[in-house]
Amino acid sequence: MTRLIVLLLFTLTWVAVTGSFTLLNLAFGLVLSGLALFLIRENVQPSRIAVRPFKVLSLVILFFKELALSAFKVAVLVVRPKMDLKPGILEFPLKVDRDFEITLLANLITLTPGTLSVDVSDDRRFLYVHALDCADPAATIRDIADGFEAKILEAFR
Amino acid sequence: MTLWLAIPVSILLVAGGLFSVLAALGILRLPDFYTRMHAASKAGTIGSGLVLIAAGLGSQDPAILIRALAGFVFFILTAPVSAHLLARAAHLSRVPLAKISVRDDYARKQNEDRLK
């Protein structure tokens, strides 16, 4: 059932990206999507992830707000004659433990102000984050934990 | 193109161009590889995203707008992954952090792993 929905979503994406809504293109998209899903069949297990649509929406809104803020901050930083930087790599203790949540959190961190994920520890307990302002690592860690991580836990648990 | 479409399209184009210039300036001015990745991944994504949306709106064709938005989404999906992989690869091949850096927990952890 889930596979069928994914297949239809793939087909819709194909039709949208090619921009031609003909029956022939729809059929071609269906064949392509089937092939693509067949190729990655080992990697997609049917999952039991609870998704809360409104919390996901709130996560998306927070993300775009932070992304805009982040680009603006970098822009302001680089035009200053004297750049005030205290960069460093800090260790972020992860509360989320599933792979897709860690991936999502790492990507969100990269696109938000002054932080960039570098690596995750092998035991998946820590995320290593490069920060432009590492003067107060505890505050940065608290910001991420109360912001994105809390939202991810709300949206997918 | 009417004025009411031309105004937002030109604002988006100028803003996108400005962010792209500032991303390039950041790559020039920031002190080390890791801080440069910040400029490239954030301001670069927003810059190209705004230009894509402007192009989609300006075309006045929904099919092109959808493709432009899809392009923006793919940028958001891929930019952090490439920034993460480049930063990780740089650190693993011992590209040093700038002198002004205040801490490096990742290097500490790698040293601990090596001693185990």
Whether residue B106 contacts residue A118, with contact meaning beta carbons closer than 8 Å, is answered with: yes
Q: Is B7 exposed, middle or buried (0-12, 13-18, 19+ CB in 10 A)?
A: exposed
Q: What is the pLDDT of residues A50-106, one digit of tens each?
A: 777 788 888 888 888 888 888 888 888 888 887 778 888 888 888 888 888 888 888
Helices (H), chain A: 2-18, 23-39, 53-79, 99-110, 137-144, 150-156
Torsion angle, CA of B92/B97/B101/B103, rounded to 10 degrees? 20
Chain A stretch 43-102, residues whose beta carbon is closer than 8 A to a beta carbon of chain B: 67-68, 70-71, 74-75, 77-79, 83, 85-91
CB contacts, 8 Å: A132 with chain B? 35, 38
Q: What is the pLDDT of residue B52?
A: 93
Whether residue B82 contacts residue A68, with contact meaning beta carbons closer than 8 Å, is answered with: no
Lowest-confidence pick of A55-69, A140-154, B56-70, B99-113: B99-113
Of the residues B37, B105, B109, B114, the best mutation for testing chain A's interface (the one with the most A CB atoms within 10 Å of its CB) is B105
Whether residue B41 contacts residue B80, with contact meaning beta carbons closer than 8 Å, is answered with: yes
Nearest-by-CA chain B residue for A89: B104
From residue B113, how far is each of A120, A122, B13 by CA, in Å? 14, 11, 49
C-beta atoms of A74 and B66 within 8 A: no
| Single-letter code of the amino acid located at A51 | V
Of B37, B102, B105, the CB nearest to A135: B102
Report helix angle B33-59 to B3-29, nearest 10.
170
Pairwise CA distance, residues A65 & B14, whole Å: 20
Which band of pLDDT confidence, cut at 50, 70 and 90, is reported for residue A47?
low
Residue ranges covered by each domain of chain A: 2-39, 53-156
Q: Which domains does chain B carry?
A: 3-115 (1.10.287)
Which band of pLDDT confidence, cut at 50, 70 and 90, is reported for residue A46?
low
Long-range pairs for B88-93 at CB < 8 Å and ≥24 separation?
B88/A118, B88/A119, B90/B33, B90/B34, B91/A89, B91/A118, B91/A119, B91/B34
From residue A115, how far is each of A61, A111, A154 by CA, in Å? 19, 7, 22
A126: nearest Cα among A79, A91, A153: A91
Q: What is the pLDDT of residues A100-137, one digit of tens each?
A: 888 888 888 887 778 888 888 888 888 888 888 887 88
CB contacts, 8 Å: B79 with chain A? 110-111
CB contacts, 8 Å: B87 with chain A? 116-118, 130
Lowest-confidence pick of A17-21, A42-46, B110-114: A42-46
Neighbours of B57 (CB within 10 A): 19
Q: What is the pLDDT of residue A141?
A: 87
Judged against a pLDDT cut of 90, whether residue B112 lies above it is answered with no
Q: Give the sign of the dihedral formed by CA A78, CA A62, CA A59, CA B71.
A: negative
Q: What is the ipTM of this complex?
A: 0.79
Pairwise CA distance, residues B29 & A78, whole Å: 7
Class for domain A53-156, per CATH? alpha beta
From residue B29, how far is each of A31, A65, B5, B114 by CA, in Å? 49, 26, 36, 34
Nearby residues of A64 by Cβ (< 8 Å), 6 or more positions away: none
Pairwise CA distance, residues B55 & B72, whole Å: 11
Nearest-by-CA chain B residue for A103: B81
| Single-letter code of the amino acid located at A125 | R
Pick the more confident residue, A46 or B13. B13
Arithmetic mean of pLDDT, A10-31: 85
Arithmetic mean of pLDDT, B100-106: 77
Name the one residue in this structure whose structure tokens are 């690592």. Answer: A137
